[in-house]
């Protein structure tokens, strides 16, 4: 005899509460394990393909790990120092850029830029705040891990966790499947399959789109000669998972910087605009249909809401789990909506009579 609905709801509520408490109290501690699990989930299809090609799971995991280490080392040697230096330079040059904007507005609209003008005072204060916040941001990034030891732990534990989880991923899935309640096993498997399909489409697909577009924007802007092009491309690629926002923010930032650098060189400024137009074309017509698919099931508004809520409640760790939790909630909600629409509460006597009429007509 299955458990009553009230008892099942009580148990599931306890599980959700324990999950929230773990995020709340163990956020910094479990972050390497969450990152390691995410990396293993991302790379599991690669390992499966290598297994189909004839490699053992151990050999496939070792090959993937070695390639990942090489990519990380190249990133630390070639990309990250330039990215950090450009980010710091951009934050420090913000007051100068705003002073140039102030001079431009003074020349074009002198009546708006007198000593007591609100616009002038706002620009000056904005420049100071950006410079202060930029320095605070760099300091926060360096001190957010509390100490050098925690940074080392993050950099060491995460790859180790990812390696072992990737090695044992299939066995872990089988073990979890064996613990499912027998009465609800088909429904849970269906929900888990839908969640996996949604996450695979979004995280693996959209993550690949972000990497490709971020690399394209950064390289193209640097080839054009735009200062801080690497930072702009990184920002645009990072937020590409929200439709149109990445291109709009990155394009506005790039064109804004280009106005100061390329004023009078309209072909260079036009090239910056063309770069983002081409990026949007390739994203909408090639990358997203091929890598993500047409039906992901994560609405941008729902995604931004989940990121805001989990980020404010649980910090950076909350933002890491926001996407999988949002996808899971969406899949579960759609599952119960289907159950509701096929149940007696929704259909009532009218639905039953309509179904009876259809059976008679057939």
Residue 19 confidence class, pLDDT cut points 50, 70, 90: confident
pLDDT of residue 145 exceeding 50, the answer is no
Return d(Cα 29, Cα 1) in angstroms, integer: 41
CB 360 within 8 A of CB 223: no
Return d(Cα 157, Cα 309) in angstroms, integer: 27
Exposed (0-12), middle (13-18) or buried (19+): which is 341, by Cβ within 10 Å? exposed
pLDDT of residue 221 exceeding 80, the answer is yes
| Sign of the torsion formed by the C-alpha atoms of 180, 318, 72 and 142 | negative
Return d(Cα 239, Cα 321) in angstroms, integer: 16
- Residue bearing tokens 């650098």: 261
DSSP string, 36-52: HHHHHHHHHHHHHHHHH
**275 or 300: which leads in pLDDT:** 275
Of these ranges, 25-29, 98-102, 358-362, the one predicted with the greatest mean pLDDT is 25-29
| Sign of the torsion formed by the C-alpha atoms of 304, 333, 6 and 321 | negative
Tell me the pLDDT tens digit for each residue of 85-144.
666 666 666 666 666 666 666 666 565 555 566 666 665 665 566 555 555 555 554 454
**296 or 24: which leads in pLDDT:** 24
Q: Flag whether the pTM goes above 0.85.
A: no
Q: Which of 167-171, 187-191, 259-263, 339-343 has the lowest mean pLDDT?
A: 259-263
What pLDDT does 103 receive?
Answer: 67
């Amino acid at each position: 005899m299955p458990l009553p609905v009230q008892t099942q709801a009580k148990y599931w509520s306890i599980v959700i509460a324990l999950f929230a408490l773990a995020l709340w109290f163990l956020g910094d501690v479990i972050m390497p394990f969450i990152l390691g699990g995410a990396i293993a989930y991302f790379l599991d299809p690669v390992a499966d393909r290598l297994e189909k090609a004839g490699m053992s799971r151990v050999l496939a995991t070792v090959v993937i790990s070695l390639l990942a280490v090489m990519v990380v080392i190249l990133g630390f040697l070639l990309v990250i120092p330039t990215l950090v230096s450009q980010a710091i330079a951009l934050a420090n040059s913000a007051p100068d850029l705003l002073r140039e904007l102030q001079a431009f507005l003074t020349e074009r609209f002198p009546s708006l830029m007198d000593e007591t003008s609100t616009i002038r005072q706002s620009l000056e204060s904005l420049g100071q705040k950006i410079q202060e916040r930029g320095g605070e941001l760099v300091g926060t990034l360096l001190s957010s891990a509390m100490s050098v030891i925690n940074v080392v732990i993050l950099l060491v534990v995460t790859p180790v966790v990812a390696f072992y989880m990737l090695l044992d991923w299939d066995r872990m899935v089988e073990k979890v499947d064996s613990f499912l309640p027998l009465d609800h096993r088909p429904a849970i498997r269906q929900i888990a399959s839908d969640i996996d399909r949604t996450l695979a489409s979004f995280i693996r697909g959209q993550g690949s789109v972000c990497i490709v577009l971020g690399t394209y924007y950064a390289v193209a802007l640097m080839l054009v000669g735009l200062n801080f092009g690497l930072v702009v491309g990184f920002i645009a690629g990072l937020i590409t998972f929200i439709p149109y926002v990445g291109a709009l923010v990155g394009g506005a930032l790039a064109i804004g910087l280009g106005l100061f650098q390329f004023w009078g060189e309209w072909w260079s400024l036009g090239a910056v605009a063309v770069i983002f137009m081409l990026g949007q074309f390739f994203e909408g017509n090639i990358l997203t249909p091929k890598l993500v698919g047409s039906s992901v099931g994560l609405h941008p508004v729902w995604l931004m809401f989940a990121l805001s809520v989990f980020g404010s409640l649980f910090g950076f760790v909350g933002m890491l789990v926001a996407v999988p939790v949002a996808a899971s909630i969406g899949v579960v909600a759609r599952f119960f909506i289907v159950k509701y629409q096929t149940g007696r509460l929704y259909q009532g006597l009218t639905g039953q009579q309509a179904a009876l009429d259809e059976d008679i007509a057939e």
